[in-house]
Amino acid sequence: QVQLVESGGGSVQAGGSLTLSCEVSGSADNLRYMAWFRQAPGKEREAVAAIYDRIVTKTYYADSVKGRFTISRDNDKHSLTLQMNTLLPEDTAMYYCAARSQLGVVPPLVETSYDRWGQGTQVTVS
């Protein structure tokens, strides 16, 4: 059973940086899609970034974070990272790590593409 545990959240001033990590326990070899989502108070959960890792690696970003955030995955596939730079107050949210355990091609920035979720880590930008 795949489990995801996020870490690295915290409070930072606008313009600062944070690095989020997601540790994967269980079999990670078939997790071809992984992603970060976020949910701000009173808002729906939204995609931040996703990565497809099968022979070639492809990354996908929400327009709001392009050029500021970078998603990456360790070679052993057991760790997912989100490097967040030039943070803005509107980046304040609970950030969730997500993974897809099933095979198939799916839209990478859609919540329903993922069936494994972490508990989240809070990011606050002031």
pLDDT in tens, 99-119: 999 988 999 999 999 999 999
CA atoms within 13 A on the CB side of 18: 22
pLDDT at res. 27: 85
Give the single-character DSSP code of 1.
Answer: -
Stretches in the chain below the pLDDT threshold 70: none
User: What's the mean per-residue pLDDT of the chain?
Assistant: 95
Amino acid at 97: C
Distance of alpha carbon 89 from alpha carbon 69, whole angstroms = 14
Token representation of residue 43: 């808002």
Element (H, E) at 84: strand 79-84
Q: Is 97 exposed, middle or buried (0-12, 13-18, 19+ CB in 10 A)?
A: buried
